[in-house]
Amino acid sequence: MITDTATLMDTEVLMAGFGGQGTLLAGKVLAQASMEEGREVSWLPSYGPEMRGGTANVIVCIASKPIGSPLIEHPRGLIAMNLPSLEKFAPKVKPGGVIVVNQSLIDKDPRRDDCVVISVPSRELAQQAGSARAANFVMLGAYVGATGAVSVEAVEHAIAAEFAGDKARFIASSVAAFRAGVEAVCPRS
Amino acid sequence: MSKVLMKGNEALGEAAIRAGCVHFFGYPITPQTEVPEYLVKRLPEVGGAFVQAESEVAAIHMVYGAAGVGIKCMTSSSSPGISLMAEGMSYLAACELPCVIVNIMRAGPGLGGILPSQSDYFQATRGHGHGDYQLIVLAPASVQEAVDLMTLAFDLAEKYRNPVMVCADGMIGQMMEPVEFPGEGRGEPFKENDWELTGRKGRARRIVNSLFLAPEELFQHNIHLKEKYGRVHRDEMRWELCGGDEPYDLLLVAFGTMARICKTAIDEVRRDGLRVALFRPITLNPFPLAACRAAMDAMHAKGQVLTVEMNMGQMVQDVRFAAEGSRDVDFYGTAGGIVPSPDQVAAEIRERLAGVRATTPIRLWSGAGLCCEAQGDGVPCAGTDGTCDTCGRAMPAPAAQPAPTGA
């Protein structure tokens, strides 16, 4: 794991899935965590005529200097929560990028030999962590584990901050799901 | 104060409160609804009031009423809603009442779409209501700048007793970025308030009025307003020139979201050794004409100027006005809510600087006339004897002036 933020590369990740899968929320947590680490961030959602059951996506940019365009055509990272998102966005990922595939819903290889492709059974891991609804955090964990885009502690802190107050009951299962995602790609030695 | 991660629309709402805004009147419309959504919760916490009006027409006239009694207030809407507010804006300007109007632009015309656009440039800088009046128009390019310009908007509104518009697009409104707010809690009310209607109570009579039936009186009022707008144009122009320290062969002119995308595109083409600078007007009205001209004049004689906009070519008119014919000003843009990517802008830059044709499907050529068959789409025919020197086709005759009717 890279934890020294000064050595971190600028990156951007596109998170995409069905409305209701929590892609926008996972993106917000990533942006919040990166901001807490002193980095520049932007969080740009798709806001067309989206609806529950439709598709939703967000681009999170993380950089060491002010972000120019928050709109990225070829991101270095993709978290695909469902098949339409994988089919639409996997071809756009920059060569050498990281693609995290939601194995629980996607039975298809993105066919990107030039990228690091990680398949994660997010629903199963989230269920084991205490809540099937936290599959988004499993996926985020896998991405963070694979890239070191931000520290694990910062994300955990951001999850706790996001659910502070009357949603505090979601913190434990969300953090556990996030950790399960991290450990799925970098097992504890 | 530490930074918080916030949506542009919500940040605009909080910035208004920090600037001392206590009343909001508005009507929901995508993509600006988070502004009222935020304020409906926040305003009562700081002793203010929120009213969801029955329409945008009602909302702007509620602003008119509140500003008339000396209350710091605002409204916000998106393109079609701003059109409905046009009449009220004219009245506010005529009566010299300070207020702030936020426009989170969406694609038009008509009901259009809900995606980001900059197609209200004409509306913001020229149009809206009737009569000889102007708004001060500020265009942020980031969530932080939206906050900073919201603060400035209330300051300028008070300083000039004039409505100020903060003109952003759906992308700034919907995007989250870290922001820092000035001050703590609710800001101050208007400092010197010599227009508010409070009941006479022995002081000189005050009238908020825009009806002047005596032509000489109305003429004098217009002269007074013109003098005020003159001061605004003299003292309040704001802009940014990026990459102007080194020589450049191409000057991009863009505002708001589009300027950010241009910055990334410029970073990209600089790796190939291309020399490009960006001029970004922050005040759309007053448009920083002299600074824009200076940025052009800093280039050699063959240097090119290209405006990049999310519309069909609006600000390009002001840039041409700034150029005063000293050089050609071209336009590249998209509409419909399609935001050009940095790659597309970079491709356009490369094409212009290397003569290499890119294959962007949504590029527009601002030159008139036919496209040359030999040189391909986007390159106009050119020739002196009525046919194109390259492809040999007959070129269209120049459009004749219509004959005067009744002659």
Please compute the mean of the pLDDT values over residues A131-149 and round it to a whole number: 96
Q: Pairing between strand A11-18 and B23-26?
A: unpaired
From A10-14, A49-53, A167-171, B54-58, the region with the lowest mean pLDDT: A49-53
CATH of residue B319: 3.40.50.920
pLDDT tens sequence across B327-340? 999 999 999 999 99
Q: What is the pLDDT of residue A187?
A: 77
A26 and chain B in contact, CB less than 8 A? no
Report if residue A22 sits inside a domain.
yes
> For residue A148, is it within any domain?
yes
User: What would the DSSP string read from start to end of B129-189?
Assistant: SSSS---EEE--SSHHHHHHHHHHHHHHHHHHTSEEEEEEEHHHHH-EEEE--SSSSS---
Inside any domain, residue A177: yes
Q: Which residues of A touch B347 (CB under 8 A)?
A: none
**Are B30 and B152 in the same domain?**
yes
Q: What is the pLDDT of residue B358?
A: 39
User: According to the model, what pLDDT value does residue B199 have?
Assistant: 87
Region A161-182: mean pLDDT is 96
Residue at B201 is within a domain: no
Query: Do B249 and B125 have their domain in common?
Result: no
Residues of A in contact with B178 (CB under 8 A): 35, 40-41
> Looking at the structure, do residues B104 and B167 belong to the same domain, yes or no?
yes
Q: Could you tell me if residue A189 is inside a domain?
A: no
Task: Please check whether residue A38 touches B, CB under 8 A.
Answer: no
Domain shared by B213 and B261, yes or no: no
Query: What pLDDT sits at residue A51?
Result: 63
Q: How many structural domains compose chain A?
A: 1
CA distance B252 to B254: 6
Closest-CA residue of A relative to B31 is A47
Beta carbons of A31 and B176 less than 8 Å apart: yes
More reliable by pLDDT, B368 or B152: B152
Q: Does residue B119 lie in a domain region? A: yes
- Using an 8 Å CB-CB cutoff, list chain B residues near A67: 177, 260
* Residue B5 with chain A: CB contacts under 8 Å: 28, 31-32, 35, 41, 43
Strand pairing category for B239-242 and B276-281: antiparallel
Question: Which CATH number does the domain housing residue B44 bear?
Answer: 3.40.50.970
Domain enclosing residue B380, as ranges: 370-396
**B170/B54 same-domain check:** yes
| pLDDT tens track for B186-220 | 999 999 788 999 888 888 999 999 999 999 999 99
Across A134-161, average pLDDT: 97
pLDDT of residue A118 exceeding 70: yes
Which of A81-85, B226-230, B396-400 has the least mean pLDDT?
B396-400
Read off the pLDDT of residues B239-283 as tens digits, 9 standing for 90 and up. Answer: 999 999 999 999 999 999 999 999 999 999 999 999 999 999 999
- Give the tens place of pLDDT for each residue, B40-96: 999 999 999 999 999 999 999 999 999 999 999 999 999 999 999 999 999 999 999
CATH number assigned to the domain comprising residue A55: 3.40.920.10
B118 C-beta neighbours (distance < 10 Å), count: 28
pLDDT above 90 as % of chain A: 86
**One-letter identity of residue A141:** G
- Residue B329's nearest CA partner among B310, B338, B316 is B316
Angle in degrees, CA B133, B118, B87, rounded to 5: 30
B197 in a structural domain: no
State which residue of chain B sits closest to A31, comparing Cα positions: B5
B3 contact A CB<8A: yes
Q: What residues of A are in contact with residue B176 (Cβ under 8 Å)?
A: 28, 31, 42-44
Which residues does chain B have within 8 Å of residue A44's beta carbon, measured at their own beta carbons?
171, 174-176
Q: Which pLDDT score is estimated for B406?
A: 45
- Same domain (yes/no): B60, B145: yes
Minimum Cα–Cα distance from B263: chain A residue? A68
Query: Is the CB of B115 less than 8 angstroms away from the CB of A74?
Result: no
User: By the CB < 8 Å criterion, does A42 face chain B?
Assistant: yes
- Please tell me which of the candidates B171, B177, B339 has its beta carbon nearest to residue A41: B177
Q: What token pair was written down for A163?
A: 């659910």
How far apart, in Å, are the Cα atoms of B234 and each of B237, B288, B297, B319?
A: 7, 10, 21, 18
B310 falls within a domain: yes
Q: Which domain holds residue A156?
A: 5-184
Structure ipTM: 0.92
Q: Is B289 among the domain residues?
A: yes
**Interface residue B261 vs chain A (CB under 8 A):** yes
Q: Is residue A12 part of a domain?
A: yes
* A35/B260 touch (CB, cutoff 8 Å), yes or no: no
Instruction: Tell whether A134 lies on the interface with B, counting CB pairs under 8 A.
Output: no
Q: Could you tell me if residue A82 is inside a domain?
A: yes
Length of chain A counted residue by residue: 189
pLDDT band at A175, cuts 50/70/90? Answer: very high
Q: What pLDDT score was predicted for residue A6?
A: 46
Question: Are both B172 and B31 inside the same structural domain?
Answer: yes
Q: What is the nearest CA distance from B227 to chain A, expressed in angstroms?
A: 38
A130: in domain: yes
- How confident is the model over B132-161, as pLDDT tens digits? 999 999 999 999 999 999 999 999 999 999
